[in-house]
Homo-oligomer: A and B are copies of this chain.
Amino acid sequence: MDIKEIEGFLKFNKIKPSHHRLKIYEYLVKSKNHPTADLLYRELVNEIPTLSKTTVYNTLNLFVEKGAAQLITIDESENRYDADMSIHGHFKCKDCGKVFDFPLNFAAIDMGGLQNFQVEENHIYLKGLCNECQAHKKK
């Protein structure tokens, strides 16, 4: 996704593509590391020295509101953000703290008890040990 595509995508979601918004969205799309607002700020402030943390918060809230990104609350005490709006799950490693995406067959979840509820969002969070951290432990 190059910067022109990002611009088009933001416009499509009724978000005016200012420079900061483009940069923040680009970081979300390219890094895929599900950053917190704070991490995003620290990563971008070198490139955009005038960036303020409030702008990062404002921008992320705007993205979520407009449906251009989703908020991940897999862990208490840290809100993370993901520009991938397709249906997928998140796995957080309890050791290294990394958050991984995984594919999801959402239709297979039996929600018999929810037949009359109108579902608008789904958040599938798993936690445990990632591949790498399991290997470390065995040593």
Each complex incorporates copies of this chain amounting to 2
A2 at the A/B interface (Cβ < 8 Å)? no
User: Does A102 sit at the interface, judged by CB under 8 A?
Assistant: yes
A99-139 toward B: CB 8 Å interface, digit per residue (1/0)? Answer: 01111111011111110111111111111111100100000
For residue A76, CB closer than 8 A to chain B, the reply is yes
Classify chain A's interface size: 35 or more
Are B127 and A124 within 8 A (Cβ)?
Answer: no
**Stretch of A10-18, A45-53, A67-75 on the interface side:** A67-75
Known contacts A74-B73, A126-B122, A105 near B110 by CB under 8 Å? yes
- Flag if B128 contacts A125 (CB, 8 Å): no
7 nearest interchain CB pairs?
A105-B110, A108-B108, A102-B113, A120-B128, A123-B125, A121-B127, A118-B129
Can you name 21 A-B residue pairings with CB atoms under 8 Å? A73-B75, A76-B79, A91-B117, A91-B119, A100-B117, A101-B113, A102-B111, A102-B112, A103-B113, A104-B110, A105-B108, A105-B110, A108-B109, A118-B134, A119-B128, A120-B129, A123-B123, A123-B124, A123-B126, A123-B127, A124-B125
